[in-house]
Amino acid sequence: MSRGIGTWLRTRLEDLLEAALTRLRRAPSTTPPTLYLASTQDDSTARVKPVQIGSWKVLGVIASGASATVFRVVPAWAPASKQHYALKLHASSLSAERDARSRFHREIRILKGLQHRNVVGMVEAGEHRGQLFIVMELVEGRNLRQALDHQKPQLTGKLDWAIQIARALSAVHRRGVVHRDLKPENILTTRVGVIKLADFGLAVQDELQKITRVGLLVGTPAYMAPETMMGHEPGPRSDLYSLGLVLYELFTGCMPFKAQTVGEFIDAHLAAAPVPPRRRDASLPASVEAIILRLLEKDPDARYQSADELREALEASLAEVVGIARAAQEAREAGVQVA
């Protein structure tokens, strides 16, 4: 193994990734599982749909994962209300577990302090029969994974999404929070194309990072920055790497590395050069390719140093794309032959 990664860490990583890949192969969806190295998960718990949680009437299930279920709810005191909300209920098997519980408390604390158009808004938090829950604004739409599967956004639409994600990250980082689990499933899109960053279950805030144990690896391996794989504490620039992977997928429809085995997976993130996005799609502007490749630099110092810097680059790229399209339109209207 290259780059002096400790044998123990590599072994742990390999076990972790193998388990993840095994689950992935078994799973009907292509969603890479989130890993919690520090916790044990009991997937066998049967989940019965509750009728009411706290003072919220359950209307249906939006999504169900290993650590939480997200329900569509309406206030029980106004059951006919058209205003619905999303309620994330922590899995009971995890509620009793200290690490998982403190993660959920962290999510509540972080969401409380974050009010931004591009971050999912929190309404209240509570406990129901020993299970923690968060009530959030309901994002009527799709997560980015579903959007990529079902929609075919134009280049300008994709750039607009990317800019909104950068804005969300900038707001998050400004508060000293690192998301640590950026991936398409945790980025929501409304029906009118507004981005809402979600799932702060793994996020950490400056002073809280101290409680993260050395060598604790949390996140989704497919979107993990090389420094995180090496066992370093992820920082804002690790979020930017993960966003580079998300944007690669958004703009090309595939991942930047061809990895078959766990070892190849790790090596690719640590040492392999990503396949240049324009080799996947020759019509992509050079500026978009340059942005993605800079985000995917192995060395955090070589990446954009802030989400704001990234946002500026994306805005310049969007202006260029729109400018070219407008010039072509004007030329067409003037009867000039354009390619």
Ligand X SMILES: Nc1ncnc2c1ncn2[C@@H]1O[C@H](COP(=O)(O)OP(=O)(O)O)[C@@H](O)[C@H]1O
How far apart are the C-alpha atoms of 140 and 78, rounded to whole Å? 20
Q: Which is nearer to ligand X, 136 or 162 (CB)?
A: 136
Instruction: Tell whether residue 186 is a contact of Mg ion (CB under 5 A).
Output: yes
Residue 82 makes CB contacts below 8 A (sequence gap 6+) with none
State which residue, 186 or 189, has the beta carbon closest to Mg ion.
Answer: 186
The CB-of-73 to Mg ion minimum distance in angstroms stands at 18
59 within 8 A of 74, measured Cβ to Cβ: yes
Closest C-alpha among 22, 5, 310 to residue 169: 310
CB of 41 to ligand X, least distance (A): 11
CB-based contacts of 59, cutoff 8 Å, min separation 6:
71, 72, 73, 74, 84
Q: What's the min distance (Å) between Cβ of 278 and ligand X?
A: 30
Active site residue 15: no
Query: Which region, judged by CB under 5 A, interacts with Mg ion, from 83-91, 93-101, 105-113, 182-190?
Result: 182-190
Q: Among residues 183 and 311, whose Cβ is nearest to ligand X?
A: 183
The vertex-18 CA angle with 16 and 24, nearest 5°, equals: 105
Q: Binding of Mg ion at residue 107 (CB under 5 A)?
A: no
- Closer CB to ligand X, residue 90 or residue 311? 90
Instruction: Give the sign of the dihedral formed by CA 67, CA 200, CA 277, CA 18.
Output: negative
Nearer to ligand X (CB atom), residue 131 or residue 143 = 143
**Residue 233: exposure state from Cβ atoms within 10 A (0-12, 13-18, ≥19):** middle
As to burial, measured by CB atoms within 10 angstroms (0-12 exposed, 13-18 middle, 19+ buried), residue 301 is exposed
Residue nearest to Mg ion (CB): 199
Residue 21 or 70 having the CB closest to ligand X: 70
199 lies in the site for Mg ion, by CB under 5 A? yes
Using DSSP's 3-state secondary structure scheme, residue 317 falls into helix
Here the tokens at position 167 are 């804005």
Rounded Cα distance between 159 and 292, Å, is 12
Binding-site partner at residue 62 among Mg ion, ligand X, none, CB < 5 to 8 Å by type? ligand X
The two beta strands, 218-219 and 35-36, are antiparallel
Considering the rule CB under 5 A, would residue 31 count as an interface residue with Mg ion? no
86 binds, among ligand X, Mg ion, none (CB under 5 to 8 A by kind): ligand X
Nearest-approach distance from CB 323 to ligand X, in angstroms: 35
Site for Mg ion contains 220 (CB under 5 A): no
Binding segment for Mg ion among 142-150, 162-170, 195-203, 255-263 (CB under 5 A)? Answer: 195-203
CB atoms within 10 A of CB 262: 19
Instruction: Report CA-CA distances (Å) from 201 to 14, 26, 163, 195.
Output: 23, 24, 23, 18
Supply the minimum distance, in Å, between the C-beta of residue 119 and ligand X: 11
Q: Which of 181, 267, 299, 301 is catalytic?
A: 181
Q: In angstroms, give the least distance from the CB of 121 to ligand X.
A: 8
Binding partner of residue 63 among Mg ion, ligand X, none, CB cut-off 5 to 8 Å per kind: ligand X
Give the shortest CB-258-to-ligand X separation in angstroms.
Answer: 26
Q: Which is nearer to Mg ion, 186 or 317 (CB)?
A: 186
Which chain residues interact with ligand X by CB under 6 A?
Answer: 34, 62-63, 65, 67-68, 70, 86, 88, 120, 136-139, 143, 185-186, 188, 198-199, 201
What is the greatest pairwise CA distance in the chain? 71
Q: Among all residues, which ones are annotated catalytic?
A: 181
Binding site for Mg ion (CB under 5 A): 186, 199
